[in-house]
Amino acid sequence: MIGQIFDPGATGYTFVKLGVGVRPVAMGNAFTALSDDGNAVFWNPSGLGIVGSYYVAGMVMNHLTFWDYYNLTSAIPIGENDAVGLGLSYLGASDIEYSERGDELGEFTNSDMLLNVGYGRSFGRRSNISLGASIKVVRGQLYKYSSYGVLADLGLLLNPIKYLYFGTVLKNLGTPRRYIDKYEYPPVNFRQGVAVKLPIQENQLALGFDVSVYPDLKPTFSVGGEVLIRAPSILGSSNQKRITGFAVMAGYQSGYGEGTFSGLSLGFSVELFVTEGLYLDIGALLLSYGYLGTSERIALGLNYVPSPRRANK
């Protein structure tokens, strides 16, 4: 059984490799050291220790034309230095034709669902050390067969000096799942990231770089950046007006197949003032898989900040 759980040579659960959130994916998945919003429960649960605001967001994705992907994620602070994260994801494709003995065609549904619960806490005088963990329950269905698995993520986030961040996360430790008489093993993933967040007056420039290692794949790297504009002089608005933030993100991740633009991503988000402390975030992105096609995602989120400061991006 131990060999089945930690077999280093075979991985499955392809569903859990899909990125969550417009901001992280648009930045090329270079988010291990930048996990400072409600998406942290999926990327690096230690980032929940520095979120500092209530967050809920939903995302819809069309994946390579015939797959639909839905995601709901949230962060709930329970103290000044810690928060709980919740996430729910669903990936499904129906009306897929199959052949039995080459003479009959039918239709069946292939789907995966994931429930994610995480916790993160920051320590230190400047809250410059954060630890976190999450548990994921995965259910898969293929035709009339279903399977279950339980996975765990462990994360660390360091902020040794101002503006500089280091992140480490070990993802998808857990049990294999079984379809009939075949086992599918979890894609254990080690990610290491470094990032800088540079304030420019009321605006911010964020840059991230990640290295990702799976046991059965070559290491890949991710690089991404975000320009966040909040200055009223640029937006042409003030805190009392509707638009309080605008961000443009771009990134690249290696290993996304062949093609001129394979692995490139581009996205944007707009933050709208709703009422005191409450902000609405609307975002979209385009990710290229090269010759295989593209993936489009749209997200809608609410961020409630109890203090006068604006919502984290």
Gap between the Cα atoms of 153 and 227, Å rounded: 29
Question: Which residues lie below 8 Å from residue 233, measured CB to CB, with a gap of 6+?
Answer: none
Instruction: Dump strand ranges (E) for 31-123.
Output: 54-63, 67-77, 82-100, 104-123
- Which parts of 127-200 fold into alpha helices (H)? none
Question: Which of 60, 62, 89 minimizes the C-alpha distance to 73?
Answer: 89
The per-residue pLDDT for range 192-232, each reduced to its tens digit, is 999 999 999 889 999 999 999 988 778 999 999 999 998 77
The model's confidence at residue 1, banded by pLDDT at 50, 70 and 90, is: very low
The per-residue pLDDT for range 80-96, each reduced to its tens digit, is 899 999 999 999 876 65
pLDDT at 271 over 90: yes
The per-residue pLDDT for range 18-43, each reduced to its tens digit, is 889 999 999 999 999 999 998 999 99
pLDDT at 71 over 90: yes
As a whole number, mean pLDDT of residues 42-58 equals 94
Residue 103 is predicted with a pLDDT of 47
The per-residue pLDDT for range 243-255, each reduced to its tens digit, is 889 999 999 999 8
The hierarchical CATH code for the domain 23-304 is: 2.40.160.60
The model's confidence at residue 10, banded by pLDDT at 50, 70 and 90, is: very low
% of residues, the chain, pLDDT over 90: 57
pLDDT at 124 over 70: yes
As a whole number, mean pLDDT of residues 180-186 equals 82
% of residues, the chain, pLDDT over 70: 85
Burial tier of 312 (Cβ tally within 10 Å: 0-12, 13-18, 19+): middle
CA terminus-to-terminus distance, the chain: 42
